[in-house]
Amino acid sequence: MLDRSTSGPAPAPITIGQVRFEWGTRTYVMGIINATPDSFSGDGVVDPRVAVQLAEQMVQGGADIIDIGAESTRPEFAPIDADDEWSRLHLILGPVRRAVDVPVSVDTSKAEVARRAFEYGADALNDVTGLLGDPDMPRVLAAAGVPAVIMHNQRGREFGGDVMKDVRAGLRESITAAQVAGVPEDRLIVDPGYGFGWGPVRDFEMIRRLEELRPLGRPILLGTSRKSSIGYIIDRPAQERIYGTAATVALGIAHGADLVRVHDVVEMVQVSKVADAIVRGAVK
């Protein structure tokens, strides 16, 4: 388990929207809104009124940031083009952005969708290709001047024999792409890509070894919520994986996660608070 007293200084704070994220003080919670009809977890939202209600409930439940995506990234998902993705996204993004007072990030790997989203009020980017899926994305991100979550995506890559070595190499590639385009490294949050091309054994190894990302010097996001590796262990459909998700969130925090991306905000905020009290000594 990560010894936070000897793991070096926490990454410098990042301001997302109007909110300053002070890494190391507590674990932050990102609530998921899937503006898709084919979400793997069965929680797709296409009605703006329902999305606003969900976002408001998440904020009331303790979410620090809302993440909206309009294209499924589940295994073997059916890709859509930028216009179709934007037609879904803008219907949800605008109303949610106006309804909540926490930052809103956009989950996309398409530069044109990201550009439109930033113009529409998105405060950050969450790119599951780590800026490597669209050659224009680093430039668009640099021009927008907003923070980004960059994820290592193992799908389509050859396994090199060591999970965290592959993850670190992929994230360094993404960090370099950002820097070349003029994106300061201190705007980046790293995500090891739990559930993206690994399988249960390596997914769980990733959590056990999460602290090995600390030398990158960036805040760490962990996104395990309802994923198939959890279902593999507990033999439950996506909507019944709250307790399994809670285990991964608690242990992820113990091993160094700074931000967790979740569907079940109320429950995972509670998990995070108790884990912080144990791991960080965050008891008032």
Q: What is the pLDDT of residues 179-223, one digit of tens each?
A: 999 999 999 999 999 999 999 999 999 999 999 999 999 999 999
Task: Order the strands of the 148-151 sheet from edge to edge.
Answer: 188-191, 148-151, 124-127, 104-107, 65-69, 28-34, 259-262, 221-222
Give just the sign of the alpha carbon dihedral 134, 17, 226, 219: positive
- Measured CA distances, 242 to 34, 59, 228 (Å): 17, 19, 12
Cite the DSSP H helix spans in 9-104. 48-60, 82-99
Reply yes or no on whether the pLDDT at 46 is more than 80. Answer: no
Active site residue 4: no
- What mean pLDDT do residues 245-256 have? 98
Q: Which two tokens stand for residue 126?
A: 């969450």
Q: Percent of the chain having pLDDT more than 90?
A: 87
Model pLDDT, residue 4: 54
Catalytic residue among 26, 97, 168, 227: 227
Active site residue 227: yes
Residue 6's pLDDT band (cuts 50, 70, 90): very low
**CATH code that applies to domain 14-279:** 3.20.20.20
Locate the domains of the chain by residue range: 14-279
Residue 76's pLDDT band (cuts 50, 70, 90): low
Q: Which two tokens stand for residue 253?
A: 């925090």
Q: Which two tokens stand for residue 232?
A: 């593999």
Reply yes or no on whether the pLDDT at 42 is more than 90. Answer: no
- What mean pLDDT do residues 164-187 have? 98
Q: SS3 for 130? A: coil
Q: Could you write out the DSSP letters of every residue in 228-246?
A: HHHHHHH---GGG-HHHHH
Model pLDDT, residue 270: 98
Contacts of 51 (CB under 8 A, 6+ apart): 33, 35, 45, 68, 92, 95, 96
Rounded Cα distance between 204 and 164, Å, is 11
Rounded Cα distance between 131 and 239, Å, is 30
pLDDT tens per residue across span 83-137: 999 999 999 999 999 999 999 999 999 999 999 999 999 999 999 999 999 999 9
Report DSSP state, residue 26: B
Residue 79's pLDDT band (cuts 50, 70, 90): confident
Catalytic residue among 209, 261, 273, 280: 261
Residue 72's pLDDT band (cuts 50, 70, 90): confident
Residue closest to 226 by CA, chosen among 243, 245, 207, 248: 245
